[in-house]
């Protein structure tokens, strides 16, 4: 087990972390007597293992399972959960435990942060996307029809449990989607991680738990260091949004059904690297190196029949914009990015034509 400190949170990385949830929670929150466990139906097996561990630590556990999918990450679902918490007489000494992928940890974190002005929160991430990114850093959010993650809070969990062993059962498309965020870390901060991926790509494709633990730990450590320096995204943390300005808009334009998150981020990275090249910020070799990495991971760099008009409309709601002007994180080289960069609308439209042709 490896531990990473992140402000008031602690990350635990290693095989078997899910069955250590009870002892970890008991150590961190000795006064806790109840746990409300939120999960989705795809994670019933792992949620059951977490529940058993919590019960073994003398916690009364109540479980609530949602249908799976990004469609659940909305205000109406949060509203129903508030009602469930009230009906079950959940109080501020009840620990909210979110077991699942990014949808559950985002939604659960949002509900935990706002019910009774904050319940103690523990997250157990069950996807690669969650373990390297979504479950780390204290951002919670729900989507609106107009855009992704437009309503949310900053709220640090007491603990985040990252167990690479659970990734063995992840559907292939979800697993590859998670590699989109891994590739992002290579471009924004750590070129040596790219070398590790290239050297161990067969083990990564085969979901070797030892290699995955190293990948998860390195990504989590990068994000923890960035968030520790800039929790509220007033400066450095913005670089974590590389590929996301266009990527989030692609997700919204597809009604959150056409593309998985990591797929959208991969295409967004391709488009934003094209912008960097057109502006003279990055050489063609950088775009080629990123493209090679994305393809090595099995990620898409194009999406056919996507409405450019819908993508541009969704981009106008990007949270990083100021006075209606979009600001981008753009790469200078593998491992180094520049922020903020304002980009002419004509170049954005041209890059979108390239990746949606």
Kindly name the residue from 158, 217, 237, 261 that is annotated as catalytic: 237
CA–CA distance from 210 to each of 124, 204, 213, 215, 294 (Å)? 19, 10, 5, 9, 22
Answer for the pair 153, 140: CB distance below 8 angstroms, yes or no: yes
Q: What is the DSSP string of 139-152?
A: EEEEEETTEEEEEE
Kindly name the residue from 214, 223, 263, 270 that is annotated as catalytic: 223
Q: What is the 3-state secondary structure (H, E, C) of 178-205?
A: HHHHHHHHHHHCCHHHHHHHHHCHHHHH
Q: Does 217 participate in catalysis according to the annotation?
A: no
Kindly name the residue from 70, 214, 233, 263 that is annotated as catalytic: 233
Q: Please give the Cα distance from 226 to 228 (Å, whole number).
A: 5
Q: Which residues of 9-30 are buried (b: 16+ CB within 10 A; e: fewer)?
A: bbbbbbeebbbbbbebbbeebe
Kindly name the residue from 143, 148, 181, 263 that is annotated as catalytic: 181
Kindly name the residue from 10, 73, 139, 217 that is annotated as catalytic: 139
Kindly name the residue from 217, 241, 251, 263 that is annotated as catalytic: 241
Q: Does 2 participate in catalysis according to the annotation?
A: no
Q: Please give the Cα distance from 256 to 100 (Å, whole number).
A: 18
Kindly name the residue from 18, 73, 248, 261 that is annotated as catalytic: 248
Kindly name the residue from 89, 117, 304, 305 that is annotated as catalytic: 117
Q: Does 92 participate in catalysis according to the annotation?
A: no
- Which among 281, 296, 301 is positioned nearest to 351, based on CA atoms? 301
Q: Does 139 participate in catalysis according to the annotation?
A: yes
Kindly name the residue from 148, 158, 184, 244 that is annotated as catalytic: 244
**152, β-bridge pairs:** 141
Kindly name the residue from 260, 261, 263, 272 that is annotated as catalytic: 260
Q: Does 31 participate in catalysis according to the annotation?
A: no
Q: Dmax of the chain from CA atoms?
A: 61
Q: Please give the Cα distance from 49 to 326 (Å, whole number).
A: 44
Q: Does 244 participate in catalysis according to the annotation?
A: yes
Q: Does 261 participate in catalysis according to the annotation?
A: no
Q: Which are the catalytic amino acids? A: 117, 139, 181, 223, 233, 237, 241, 244, 248, 260
């Amino acid at each position: 087990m490896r531990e990473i400190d992140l402000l008031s949170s602690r990350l635990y990385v290693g095989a078997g972390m899910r069955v250590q949830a009870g002892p970890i929670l008991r150590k961190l929150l000795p006064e806790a007597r109840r746990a409300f466990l939120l999960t989705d139906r795809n994670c019933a097996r792992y949620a059951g293992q977490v529940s058993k561990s919590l019960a073994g630590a003398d916690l009364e556990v109540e479980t609530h399972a949602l249908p799976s999918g990004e469609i659940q990450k909305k205000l109406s679902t949060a509203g129903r959960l508030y009602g469930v918490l009230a009906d079950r007489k959940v109080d501020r000494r009840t620990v909210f435990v979110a077991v699942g992928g990014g949808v559950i940890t985002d939604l659960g974190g949002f509900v935990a942060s706002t019910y009774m002005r904050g319940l103690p929160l523990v997250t157990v991430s069950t996807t690669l996307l969650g373990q390297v990114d979504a479950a780390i850093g204290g951002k919670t959010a729900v989507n609106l029809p107009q855009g992704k993650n437009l309503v949310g809070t900053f709220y640090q969990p007491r603990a985040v449990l990252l167990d690479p062993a659970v990734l063995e059962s992840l559907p292939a498309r979800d697993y590859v989607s998670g590699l989109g965020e891994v590739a992002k870390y290579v471009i924004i901060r750590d070129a040596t991680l790219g070398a590790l991926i290239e050297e161990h790509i067969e083990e990564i494709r085969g979901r070797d738990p030892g290699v995955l633990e190293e990948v998860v730990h390195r990504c989590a450590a990068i994000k923890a260091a960035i968030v520790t320096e800039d929790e509220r995204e007033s400066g450095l943390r913005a670089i974590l949004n590389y590929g996301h300005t266009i990527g989030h808009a692609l997700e919204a334009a597809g009604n959150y059904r056409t593309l998985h998150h990591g797929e959208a981020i991969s295409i967004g990275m391709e488009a934003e690297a094209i912008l960097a090249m057109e502006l003279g910020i990055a050489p063609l070799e950088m775009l080629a190196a990123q493209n090679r990495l994305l393809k090595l991971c099995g990620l898409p760099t194009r999406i056919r029949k996507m409405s450019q008009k819908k993508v541009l409309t969704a981009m106008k709601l990007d949270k990083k914009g100021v006075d209606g002007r979009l600001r981008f994180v753009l790469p200078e080289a593998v491992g180094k990015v520049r922020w903020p960069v304002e980009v002419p609308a004509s170049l954005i439209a041209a890059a979108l034509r390239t990746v949606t042709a």
